[in-house]
Structure 1
Amino acid sequence: MKDAIEPSRIVNLNQHPNAPERGGDLLHAVRDTSSRRLQQLLGNMFEHVDDALFDLAEKAENNAAQMHYFDGMREVRKRRPAVERSYLAQFSRELTDFAAQRRKPPVEAETLGAVELTLVADNELEESLAITSMISKNESRLARDLFAVNQRLAVICGGIQVSEVTSPVGPAVLTQAFRQAMRELQADMRVKLIIYKLFDRYVLSGMEELYGELNDLLAKAGVLPNLRHEHARGAVARTASAPRAQAVGEDHPAAASSATDEAGNILTTLQALFTARRGHGVGSSSVTLGPQSIPTANELLGALSVLQGQIVSHGLPAIGESGAGDISAEVAHLKDHLLNQIGALRGERPSHVSSIDEDTIDLVGMLFEFILEDRNLPPQMQVLLARLQIPYLKAAILDRKLFAHRQHPARRLLDSLADAAKGWSEESDKDRRLYDKIKSVVEQLLNEFDDDMGIFDRLLGELQEFQDLARKRAELAEQRVAESTRGREKLEQARRRAAREILDRIDGKPLPPLMHGVLARAWANYLVLILLRQGDDSPEFAEALRFVNELVASTRLPKDANGRETLRQMLPNIERALRKGLANVAFQEHDVERLLDQLRSHYAGQLGEAPATAPREVVTPAIPESIQSLVENVPDTAPLTPEDTAEQLEILPPEMRAQLEQVQAMRPGIWLEFKPAEGAPERAKLSWISPMSGRYLFVNRRGLKVGDYSPQELAATLAEGRASVLASNALFDRAMDAIVGKLSQPATTTEQE
Structure 2
Amino acid sequence: MTDAFEPPKIVPLGPRLDANTGERVGELLNAVRGIAGKRLQQCLGNLFEHVDDALFDLAEKAENNATQTHYFDGMREVRKRRPAVERSFLATVNRELGGLTGNAATASATPAPAMAELSLVADADLEESLAITSMGSKHESRLARDLFAINQRLSVICGGRKVEDSSNPIAPTALSQAFRLALKELAADMRVKLLIYKLFDRYVLSTLEELYADANETLARAGVLPQLRVSAPRGGTATRTATSTASVATGGAGTDEAADPAAVELLQTLHSLFVARRGGEAPAATHAGHASSGPPPSAGELLGALSVLQTQLAAGGAQQSPSMVDGTGNFDREAVSQLKEQLLGQLGALRGMRPTHVAGVDEDTIDLVGMLFEFILDDHTLPPEMQALLARLQIPYLKAAILDRKLFAHRQHPARRLLDALAEQAKGWSPESDRDNRLHDTIKSIVDQLLHEFDDDLGIFERLLQGLQQFHESNRRRSELAEQRVAESTRGREKLEQARRRAAREIVERIDGRKLPPLVHEVLARAWANHLVLVLLRQGEESGEFRDALRFVDDFIASTRPVPDATSRQQLRQLLPAIERALRQGLANVAFQPQDIERLLTQLRDWYGQQLGEPARVAVPNAPTVAETAPVAAIPESIQPIVEQHAEPEELPEESVPVDTDSPEWKQVEALQPGIWLEFQLPDEPMVRAKLSWVSPMSGRYLFVNRRGLKVADYSPQELAVLLASGHAQVLATNALFDRAMSAIVSRLRQPDAPNSPDAG
Task: Describe the superposition over 1:501-524 as per-residue Cα deviations: whole angstroms up to 9, x where unpaired.
Answer: 111111122211111100011101
Structure 1 unaligned runs (5+)?
1-58, 60-233, 245-253, 641-647
1:46 counterpart residue number: none
Shift of 1:605: 2.0
> How far did 1:340 drift?
0.2
CA, structure 1 residues 440+490, in 2 after alignment: closer, same or farther (shift >3 Å)?
same
1:706 alignment partner in structure 2:
712
Is 1:541 aligned to residue 527 of structure 2?
A: no
State the alpha-carbon separation in 2 of the partners of residues 337 and 482 from structure 1: 53
In the alignment, the residues of structure 2 paired with residue 560 and residue 675 of structure 1 have an alpha-carbon distance, to the nearest angstrom, of 71
Q: Which moved more, 1:352-361 or 1:739-748?
A: 739-748
SS at 2:712's partner residue? strand
The one-character-per-residue Cα deviations of 1:82-130 (angstroms, maximum 9, x if unpaired) are: xxxxxxxxxxxxxxxxxxxxxxxxxxxxxxxxxxxxxxxxxxxxxxxxx
For 1:311, the equivalent position in structure 2 comes to 313
Instruction: Provide the rounded CA distance (Å) in 1 between the counterparts of 2:639 and 2:463.
Output: 68
Alignment of 1:361-372 (within 5 A): 361-372=366-377
Pair 1:305–1:633, CA change in 2 (3 A): farther
* Aligned twin of 2:730: 724
Task: Measure how far apart 1:259 and its partner are.
Answer: 13
CA apart distance, 1:556: 2.5
1:630 to 612, 637, 645: 645
Q: Note closer, same or farther for the CA distance 1:523–1:482 as it changes in structure 2 (3 Å cut).
A: same
SS of the residue aligned with 1:677? coil
Partners of 1:257 and 1:400 within 8 A in 2: no
Q: Deviations over 1:510-541 (max 9, x none)?
A: 21111110001110111111111111111111
Give 1:683's match in structure 2, choosing from 689, 696, 706. Answer: 689
Q: Is the 8 A contact 2:482 2:708 kept in 1?
A: yes
Q: Determine if the alignment matches structure 1 residue 472 to structure 2 residue 499.
A: no
Q: Secondary structure at the match of 2:752?
A: coil
Amino acid at match of 2:646: V
Q: Assess if the C-alpha contact under 8 Å between 2:659 and 2:722 holds in 1.
A: no
**1:77 maps to which residue?**
none
Separation of aligned partners in 2, 1:612 and 1:424: 73
Q: Deviations over 1:476-513 (max 9, x none)?
A: 11111111111111111111111111111111222111
Give the deviation of 1:660 after TM superposition: 2.2
CA drift at 1:269: 1.7
Question: Which piece of structure 1 moves more, 446-455 or 260-269?
Answer: 260-269
Q: Say if 1:578 and 1:564 are closer, same or farther in 2 by CA, change over 3 A.
A: same
Deviation of 1:271 (Å): 1.0
Distance 1:256 1:536 in 2: 66
Cα 1:652–1:322, aligned 2, differ >3 Å: closer, same or farther?
farther
Structure 1: distance between partners of 2:701 and 2:660:
22
Instruction: Give distance in 1, aligned partners of 2:523 and 2:614.
Output: 23
Aligned-pair CA distance for 1:261: 5.9
Length-normalised TM-score, structure 1 = 0.61
Q: 1:450 aligns with which of 449, 455, 462?
A: 455
Compared with structure 1, are the counterparts of its residues 430 and 269 closer, same or farther at alpha carbon in structure 2 (3 Å cutoff)?
same
Residue 285 (str. 1) matches residue 292 (str. 2): no
- Tell whether the 8 Å contact from 2:679 to 2:688 is kept in structure 1 after alignment: yes
Whether the aligned pair in 1 keeps the contact of 2:264 and 2:409 (CA below 8 Å) is yes
- Residue 623 and residue 420 in structure 1: after superposition, are their counterparts in 2 closer, same or farther (change >3 A)? closer
Distance of aligned partners of 1:340 and 1:322 in 2 relative to their CA distance in 1, 3 Å threshold: closer
Q: Secondary structure of the equivalent of 1:279?
A: coil
Give the TM-score, by structure 2 length.
0.61
Q: What amino acid sits opposite 2:676 in the alignment?
A: I
Residues 507, 643 of structure 2: 8 Å contact kept = no
Q: Distance in 1 between matches of 2:517 and 2:355?
A: 100
Q: Does 1:552 align with 2:554?
A: no
Match of 2:108 in 1: none
Name the CA shift for 1:594/1:529 in 2 (closer, same or farther; >3 Å): same
Structure 2 CA distance, aligned partners of 1:446 and 1:286?
28
State the match for 1:695 in structure 2: 701
1:272 maps to a residue whose letter is S
CA offset at residue 728 of structure 1? 0.9
Conserved? CA contact 2:331–2:388, under 8 Å? no
Please report how far the alpha carbon of residue 466 of structure 1 lies from its aligned counterpart in structure 2 after TM superposition: 0.7
Structure 2, unmatched stretches of 5+, are: 1-110, 112-244, 620-625
Q: Which residue of 1 aligns with 2:524?
A: 519
Amino acid at match of 1:570: L
Paired residue for 1:510, among 515, 525, 530?
515
CA-to-aligned-CA distance 1:236-260 (integer Å, 9 cap, x gap): 99xx97x96xxxxxxxxx5667999
Q: Tell me the distance in 2 between the aligned counterparts of 1:633 and 1:473.
A: 41
| Letter in structure 1 aligned against 2:315 | S
For the 8 Å contact 2:696–2:702, the answer to whether it is kept is yes
Structure 2 counterpart of 1:652, one-letter code: V
Alignment of 1:166-205 (within 5 A): none
2:596 maps to which residue?
Answer: 591
Residue 269 of structure 1 corresponds to: 269
Q: What code does the residue aligned with 1:683 have?
A: R
Alpha-carbon offset, residue 336 of structure 1: 0.4
Could you tell me which amino acid in structure 2 is paired with residue 356 of structure 1? V
Tell me the equivalent position of 2:304.
302
The residue correspondences of 1:327-476 to structure 2 (distance < 5 A) are 327-476=332-481
Deviation at 1:428, TM superposition (A): 0.7
Give the letter for the 1:269 counterpart.
Answer: T
1:740 aligns with 2:746: yes
Q: What SS does the corresponding residue of 1:707 show, helix, strand or coil?
A: strand
SS of corresponding position for 1:495: helix
What does residue range 38-57 of structure 1 map to in structure 2 within 5 Å? none
| Equivalent position of 1:652 in the other structure | 659
Contact 1:696 1:710 in 2 (8 A): yes
Kindly tell me the number of residue pairs found equivalent between the two proteins: 500
Note closer, same or farther for the CA distance 1:423–1:261 as it changes in structure 2 (3 Å cut). closer
Deviation per CA, 1:598-625: give whole Å up to 9, x if none: 1112212222222234535330258999
Task: Return the offset for 1:562.
Answer: 2.8
Q: Is the contact made by 1:671 and 1:684 (CA closer than 8 Å) also made in structure 2?
A: yes
Letter of the 1:264 counterpart: V
Give, as a single letter, the amino acid of the residue that structure 2 aligns with 1:744. R
Code of the aligned partner of 1:451: D
Write the distance in 2 (CA, Å) between the matches of 1:445 and 1:306.
14
1:652, CA displacement in angstroms? Answer: 2.9
Note if contact 2:660-2:666 (Cα within 8 Å) is conserved in structure 1: no
Distance in 1 (CA, whole Å) between partners of 2:257 and 2:374 is 27
1:446 partner letter: L
Q: Does 1:666 align with 2:679?
A: no
Amino acid at match of 1:305: S
Looking at CA atoms only, which structure, 1 or 2, has the larger radius of gyration? 1
Counterpart position of 1:617: 630
Residues 7-406 of structure 1: matches in 2 within 5 Å?
262=260, 264-279=264-279, 285=285, 293-316=295-318, 326-406=331-411
Query: Structure 1 residue 720: deviation in Å?
Result: 2.1
Report the structure, 1 or 2, having the larger helix content: 1
SS in 2 for 1:428: helix
1:488 aligned onto 2:488: no
C-alpha deviations, 1:124-175, integer Å up to 9, x for none? xxxxxxxxxxxxxxxxxxxxxxxxxxxxxxxxxxxxxxxxxxxxxxxxxxxx
SS at structure 2 position matched to 1:442: helix
- Supply the distance in 2 between the matched residues of 1:625 and 1:589 (Cα, whole angstroms): 19
**AA matched with 2:553:** V
Q: 1:362 and 1:453 mapped to 2: Cα distance?
A: 21
Aligned counterparts of 1:707 and 1:542: Cα–Cα separation in 2: 37
Which of 559, 570, 574 matches 2:579?
Answer: 574
Distance 2:666 2:537 in 1: 32
Task: Report the CA distance between 1:555 and its aligned residue.
Answer: 1.5
SS at match of 2:703: strand
**Shift in alpha-carbon separation, 1:687–1:558, aligned structure 2, 3 A:** same
Distance in structure 2 (CA, Å) of the matches to 1:303 and 1:321 = 22
